[in-house]
Amino acid sequence: NNRSGYSDCYYNYKYRVWKNMNDKILIADDDVRINELLCEDFSQEGYEVISVYDGGMLIEMMEKVNDISLIILDVMM
């Protein structure tokens, strides 16, 4: 299903939600490799991870999801 060796977390969705736990982490980074690494690591630890790849998507998710526990973002995005 993926086109370049990256997991489905990036290619199959505008954003991907990995549901595992009540605490939600929003990851915003335009570097696909870093975003994927953080997404996979936190989801394996049992967190619900929302992964976005640009500032517009970040704002959209912050407006839609009101119970985010932590936001990790690339300030140079």
Q: Could you give the domains of the chain? A: 8-73 (3.40.50)
Predicted TM-score of the model (pTM): 0.70
**Rounded distance, CA 54 to CA 52, Å?**
6
The pLDDT value given to residue 5: 46
The pLDDT value given to residue 18: 54
8-state DSSP, 76: T
The pLDDT value given to residue 61: 93
> Which tokens hold the place of 34?
């870093």
Tens-digit pLDDT string for the chain (77 aa):
444 444 445 444 455 555 545 789 999 999 999 999 999 999 888 888 999 999 999 999 999 998 899 999 998 87
**Rounded distance, CA 49 to CA 12, Å?**
15
The pLDDT value given to residue 6: 43
